[in-house]
Amino acid sequence: MKPLSAVTLTIPRCHIPTTGCKNHKDGFVEAGKGFGATYSRLWPALRLDYILIPEEYGTTCHKIERLPFSDHYPVITQIKN
């Protein structure tokens, strides 16, 4: 079994998931709900932060915590093999 390597990215929406991370899938698409907004300042549904996982793994849970400590919300994904 290969070691798990998740990739956390903050990049513009237009570049996900087609560039830079082949053989990875988006944790939000796998197990998230709603709009997946991760940025609190500009537009309420703006998703800038992603967790990409290798294709051979899956996700059982993906959530975004709405905490006031930063302009970006924490993104949490539970990964399974």
Q: pLDDT tens digits, residue range 27-55? A: 888 888 888 888 888 776 788 888 888 88
Smallest CA-to-CA distance from 6 within 23, 19, 18, 67 is with: 23
The pLDDT assigned to 33 comes to 85
d(CA 22, CA 32): 20
Q: What does the alpha-carbon distance between residue 5 and residue 28 come to, in Å, rounded to a whole number?
A: 17
| Residue type for position 32 | G
Contacts (Cβ under 8 Å, ≥6 apart) of 41: 71
pLDDT digits 0-9 by tens, 50-70:
888 888 999 999 998 888 888
Alpha-carbon distance of 2 to 57, in angstroms, equals: 11
